[in-house]
Structures are given as structure tokens and as C-alpha cells.
Amino acid sequence: MQYSIKRQKISAKIIAQIGILAAISYLLRFFEIPLPIFPPFLRIDLSDVVAVFGGISMGPVVGFIIVVIKNLLQAITGSSTGGVGEFANILIAGPYVLMISIFCKKANSYKNVLIGAVIGTILMAIIGSVVNYYIMFPLYSKVMIPMEAIISMGTALNPKVTDLFSFMIWLIIPFNIVKGAIMTAVILPLYKKMEKLLTLN
């Protein structure tokens, strides 16, 4: 009986932590950083950093759940793509969070954080280009900006951008690599400071 009560308390604590971290992640989503080397609709936010720490402290599944909840909240309260953009973000950011969480599940260390972040960034770049090529850009071209205008934005920044495929190669992939690098640069110095959170298991 005592074991059952203890287990319920642990579960309730984890659920509460997930809710808090998801709320913080959602709020951080509104603080976007534009980079002049990319089109204005490509902006970086640090909301997934919170999910990474949640995944490290409570497991990969929890980290991914935080990503999902954050995007569901965004889809409900302020989506400009009818939820498609948020679904794409789950597919793109999810692997980054999962990779770091999975490697740190074996052993919490700077080395495992870095290895997970590098692999996660590579996956984010690859999946991001596929999702944008087949889902996001076709959607934007139909409901917001004509494809020709999107390509023109890219060409103005990089003459090598001549069509949608080259847009992915020269802008989307580099953007996700830069995003992964920035998030990793934020996570590494905070990693040791989050030691108490990381030992909640």
C-alpha cells in the first residue's frame, strides 16, 4: 500500500513537472530571434531547450511529450498554419530533444550532451528540409506567400537559390544547423547548473 502511494506521488510530481516545463517552453516560443542571413519567416527560439532538460531529468519520452504539449498549445492559441507548422515543429525539434535525452539516459555527462546534440542537429537539418519541402512550403505558397515570392526571398540572400530544392540546401539546412548549434551553446553552460533537476529520477 505504501509503495502504491509513493508511486502515485512520484507520478503526480512528474506530471506537474511536465506541465510546468511545457508552459515555460510555450512562453519561450514567443521570444523569436531573427537572423539577417535567413528569410524573415525563419526565426530561432529557445523553447526546445526546456524540453531537453525535461528529457534529461525524466527520460526521452517526457522530453518529447513537452515538445508535443508546447506545440499543441501553440496550435490552439495562435497558429498561423492551422496546426501544420506546429506538427512540423514536432517532427523537426523532436529528434534533437530525443537524441540528447537518449544519450544522457546512459550517463549524464557533457560528452553525451554534445554527442546527442550533434546527432540531433543533423537529424533536425535532414528532417527539417524534407518536412519543409513536402509540407510547409507548399502550404505557405497556397495560403500565404506565392512560391515565386518565397524563392525570390531566398535568391536575394543567396544567388544559388533558384528553386525550392536549392532553397532547402542553401537556407533551410543551414538554418537548422545554426539553430541546433545555438541551442547546444545555451544547453552546455546550463547543464551543470541544472544538476539538481537532473537528479530528480
The 3 state secondary structure assigned to 62-111 is HHHHHHHHHHHHHHHHHCCCCCHHHHHHHHHHHHHHHHHHHHHHHCCCHH
Whether 125 shows a pLDDT value over 50: the answer reads yes
Q: What mean pLDDT is predicted for residues 120-145?
A: 90
User: Tell me: the pLDDT tens digits for 67-105?
Assistant: 999 999 988 887 666 677 788 889 999 999 999 999 988
Residues with Cβ within 8 Å of residue 165, at least 6 apart in sequence? 133
Measured between alpha carbons, how far is 122 from 136 in angstroms, rounded to an integer?
19
Query: CA 33 → CA 17, 40, 61, 102, distances in Å?
Result: 27, 10, 28, 28
Whether 127 shows a pLDDT value over 90: the answer reads yes
State the pLDDT at residue 81. 65
Residue 128: pLDDT band (50, 70, 90) is very high
State the pLDDT at residue 4. 47
Q: What mean pLDDT is predicted for residues 38-54?
A: 90
Whether 184 shows a pLDDT value over 70: the answer reads yes
User: Tell me: the pLDDT tens digits for 51-60?
Assistant: 999 998 888 9
The answer to whether 51 and 29 have CB atoms below 8 angstroms apart is no
State the pLDDT at residue 82. 66
Share of the chain above pLDDT 90, in %: 56
Measured between alpha carbons, how far is 75 from 82 in angstroms, rounded to an integer?
7
Residue 5: pLDDT band (50, 70, 90) is very low
Whether 195 shows a pLDDT value over 60: the answer reads no
Cell matching residue 187: 544547453
Residue scoring higher pLDDT (8 or 122)? 122
Measured between alpha carbons, how far is 175 from 32 in angstroms, rounded to an integer?
14
The answer to whether 163 and 136 have CB atoms below 8 angstroms apart is no
State the pLDDT at residue 198. 54
Residue 118: pLDDT band (50, 70, 90) is very high
Residue scoring higher pLDDT (108 or 120)? 120
Nearest to 48 by CA among 92, 82, 81, 112: 92
Q: What is the mean pLDDT of the chain?
A: 86
State the pLDDT at residue 197. 59
